[in-house]
Structure 1
């Protein structure tokens, strides 16, 4: 299975800058925001159904070293680190209309996920486009901004509920007897993502027993509530990123895996972060993430 990515690219930072084949730093130091549990011992929650985002937990900021995997992309994979990079230009290019995205981008992405995972079935249930605009609230569902706190997208209960919600009862029961995953397919759109890129924690450095906390997530217009995973700071966490990802490059991010026997990664803590090496004329980040239910026959 090929995972390497060519270094050369036709994309540029802006209309008058050098191509995205700049000298690459091996590591960067950056501030990341981590979950800190409620001081009163109550169950943590975040509520974006109200005009102002409400939550009962705090966040703590720590400066961490983040390794740039440019040129060493094949050192990580879905089942080892919990994420995997790949070069696959999209046929769909505009990413401006939700119905066009579903009609044109979904089918090619389903085939890509199948190719990279060996899954027998892939169901895309959601997507989010993010166009960073300084000063815009990240809680505004019509202007989704990069998520700047280390988190996991799903818990085991939330993942199971996703299957039950998006598939008919006649199918879900049998599918839940086999291995299933939730995987995000993340791609920059329009231009390279030098601005506020993704940092991903290698699952092999995650203390799943102590560092992960389910967080209730209340969302407007949803009958059922979600759970996400709060990630506490641990100096052992090893964060990676791929500097200057282009629209031809994707990263698969494992959000959940029902194969919990310890042989594979089961989730990936991740966050957007402010890269101190971002070129001054880099365009604001624009990206799309697809969320997929991924099923296997075994």
Structure 2
């Protein structure tokens, strides 16, 4: 997918959810291009998949994804972030002043010892959960050539171009069974969730920010379950078809202490809020007469959330 530059409009009025009275006036809106799963009859017979490794000895494509790019209106959520909720809209904004300095985010041991402990506490509080278990932390530092592929191996993960939802409820249940083989039955009798915490390492973010979709505007039929296959484990997520009914938001000039918490899966009956997301190009912000300070650097962590009132055993190994 080639590079795209967003355009900006103002004086937009929209709503968070079709039946919610709160509206956003004079919200800055980006027009940007985002990638979606193409609508194709193939998905009526074949499940989308992606391999997280290079297959050896078999003639198998790394993925069967068919994509299409659409121009999307993406609204700034500043000023209305106190009116959205994890359970209704699928995302929230929280403040987290990490004790981990910038340079230590490149040390995985320090991230695990400090930052993941911090977000564990944050997520337990936000979700009112008995247990929160961070599964992984992905450091993303945009390469100068991104999104153009040069064929070289990048040292860090890149911003995610394809709109998706991190995991399905069934996928989250399988993770619990793997991590808690002796306690899974008891854990799964109660509510489970999977959330992601997204934090920029530098701010303000002026390069490839993250966009999130209001869950009330996402038609369930536009979320297509897909396999993500690693050498040691298979997980399941959702890829997303585009619809002009979807409402997309981003946090303009997001700072490192501002974290996006968004939900992928929730087993609670009747609780369907799940947050599609993906990155988009805002160019060099020429519309503000400013130069790009730095390329996007961020960390996102997936957190397994459990509500069962039990004594949780030590979790098993989770590795790809």
Fold shared, TM-score > 0.5 on shorter chain:
yes
Confirm whether residue 183 of structure 1 aligns to residue 195 of structure 2: yes
* Cα distance change, pair 258–272 in 1 and its aligned pair in 2 (3 A): same
Q: Which runs of 5+ in 2 are unaligned?
A: 1-25, 310-320
* Cα distance change, pair 235–38 in 1 and its aligned pair in 2 (3 A): closer
Residues 82, 266 of structure 1: 8 Å contact kept: yes
Displacement of 1:201 in angstroms is 0.4
Aligned to 1:6: none
SS at structure 2 position matched to 1:54: coil
Residues 215, 228 of structure 1: 8 Å contact kept: yes
Confirm whether residue 195 of structure 1 aligns to residue 203 of structure 2: no
Confirm whether residue 286 of structure 1 aligns to residue 292 of structure 2: no
* Equivalent residue runs for 1:201-212 within 5 Å: 201-208=213-220, 210-212=221-223
* Cα distance change, pair 297–217 in 1 and its aligned pair in 2 (3 A): closer
Displacement of 1:149 in angstroms is 1.1
17, 30, 41: which one aligns with 1:28:
30
160, 170, 188: which one aligns with 2:173:
160
TM-score (norm 2): 0.78
240, 256, 275: which one aligns with 2:249:
240
* Cα distance change, pair 112–118 in 1 and its aligned pair in 2 (3 A): same
Aligned to 1:145: 158
42, 59, 67: which one aligns with 2:46:
42
Displacement of 1:47 in angstroms is 1.8
SS at structure 2 position matched to 1:26: strand
* Equivalent residue runs for 1:1-298 within 5 Å: 26-36=28-38, 40=42, 41-50=45-54, 54-93=62-101, 94-135=104-145, 142-167=155-180, 169-208=181-220, 210-219=221-230, 222-261=231-270, 264-276=271-283, 278=285, 279-297=290-308
Q: C-alpha separation between the residues in 2 aligned to 1:144 and 1:212?
A: 24
* Cα distance change, pair 30–53 in 1 and its aligned pair in 2 (3 A): farther
Q: C-alpha separation between the residues in 2 aligned to 1:224 and 1:255?
A: 19
- Superposed CA RMSD: 2.3
Q: Which runs of 5+ in 1 are unaligned?
A: 1-23
* Cα distance change, pair 276–143 in 1 and its aligned pair in 2 (3 A): closer
Q: C-alpha separation between the residues in 1 aligned to 2:154 and 2:248?
A: 28
- List per-residue Cα deviations over 1:75-117 (Å, max 9, x = no partner): 2110111010011211112301001110111212111112222
Q: C-alpha separation between the residues in 2 aligned to 1:82 and 1:141?
A: 31
Residues 38, 57 of structure 1: 8 Å contact kept: no
Q: C-alpha separation between the residues in 1 aligned to 2:192 and 2:77?
A: 28
Displacement of 1:172 in angstroms is 1.7
SS at structure 2 position matched to 1:107: helix
SS at structure 2 position matched to 1:170: coil
TM-score (norm 1): 0.84
SS at structure 2 position matched to 1:95: helix
- List per-residue Cα deviations over 1:2-37 (Å, max 9, x = no partner): xxxxxxxxxxxxxxxxxxxxxx96211111111015
* Cα distance change, pair 275–265 in 1 and its aligned pair in 2 (3 A): farther
Q: What is the aligned length?
A: 269
SS at structure 2 position matched to 1:204: helix
